[in-house]
Amino acid sequence: MTHSPATPSKPRAVGFNHVALEVGSIDEALEFYGKLFNIKLRSRSDTDAFIDLGDQFLALQSGRTQPRDDGRHFGLVVDDKEAVRAILEAEGVEILPGRFLDFMDPWGNRIEIVGYENIQFTKAPHVLKGMGMEDLRKSDSAIQELTEKGMAPE
pLDDT in tens, 23-68: 999 999 999 999 999 999 999 999 999 999 989 999 999 998 889 9
User: What is the torsion angle, in degrees rounded to the nearest 10, for the CA atoms of residue 49, residue 29, residue 80 and residue 152?
Assistant: -30
4 — pLDDT class (breaks 50, 70, 90): low
pLDDT confidence of residue 5: 64
The whole model's pTM is what?
A: 0.87
Pairing of strands 101-104, 73-78: unpaired
Fold (topology level) of 18-62+73-148:
2,3-Dihydroxybiphenyl 1,2-Dioxygenase; domain 1 (3.10.180)
pLDDT for 3 beyond 90: no
Query: Is 60 in contact with 93 (CB distance < 8 Å)?
Result: no
Lowest mean pLDDT among 6-10, 100-104, 113-117, 143-147: 6-10
Q: Give the residue among 121, 119, 84 at the shortest CA–CA distance from 105.
A: 84
pLDDT confidence of residue 78: 96
Return d(Cα 25, Cα 28) in angstroms, integer. 5
Longest dimension (CA), the chain: 74
pLDDT for 92 beyond 80: yes
